Structure 1
Amino acid sequence: MNTSKPILARSINDRVLAGVIGGIAHRFGWNSTLLRVIYVVLSVISVAFPGILVYLILWLLIPEGND
């Protein structure tokens, strides 16, 4: 029985920009649309710059998947 979780990778099929949020949602079994909305709301509340910077860093650090 293989109970391993999917690895953290950017999504190819569930992407809006680079697949970062889609990959995170896939890894943890969350709804990607809801996670995107939460991420945007938190980014706007924090004056957007930190959210954009975090997204860009994650884009560089998380490898592209092969879903």
Structure 2
Amino acid sequence: MTTTYFPTKRRGLVRPSEGRILAGVCAGLARRFGTTPTRVRIIALISCLLPGPQFVIYLALWLIMPNED
């Protein structure tokens, strides 16, 4: 299995233009914390099964995080 890490053009938390599935939030978080987007997506999916505002936080990050472009 090949792991692809995206090189960063800007430092900080941004939504990359490559590697997105929905909005790029998980890919941006993975890039920022040095892990794979798949791992972050699995963690996000599992966390949505727990009570709490995870979906609202995802939507807020979608609105707050700038695009990489």
What residue is the counterpart of 1:56 in the other structure? 59
1:19 to 20, 24, 27: 24
Is 1:34–2:39 an aligned residue pair?
A: yes
The alignment covers a number of residue pairs equal to 60
For structure 2, the 5+ residue unaligned runs are: 1-9
Q: Deviations over 1:2-49 (max 9, x none)?
A: xxx8321012111111001100101111111011101110111226xx
- Normalised by the length of structure 2, the TM-score is 0.76
What residue is the counterpart of 1:45 in the other structure? 50
Helix, strand or coil at the partner of 2:61: helix
- Tell whether the 8 Å contact from 1:10 to 1:63 is kept in structure 2 after alignment: yes
C-alpha RMSD of matched pairs (Å): 1.6
Helix, strand or coil at the partner of 1:45: coil
Which has more radius of gyration? 1
Structure with greater proportional helix content? 1
Q: Give identity over the alignment, percent.
A: 37
For structure 1, the 5+ residue unaligned runs are: none
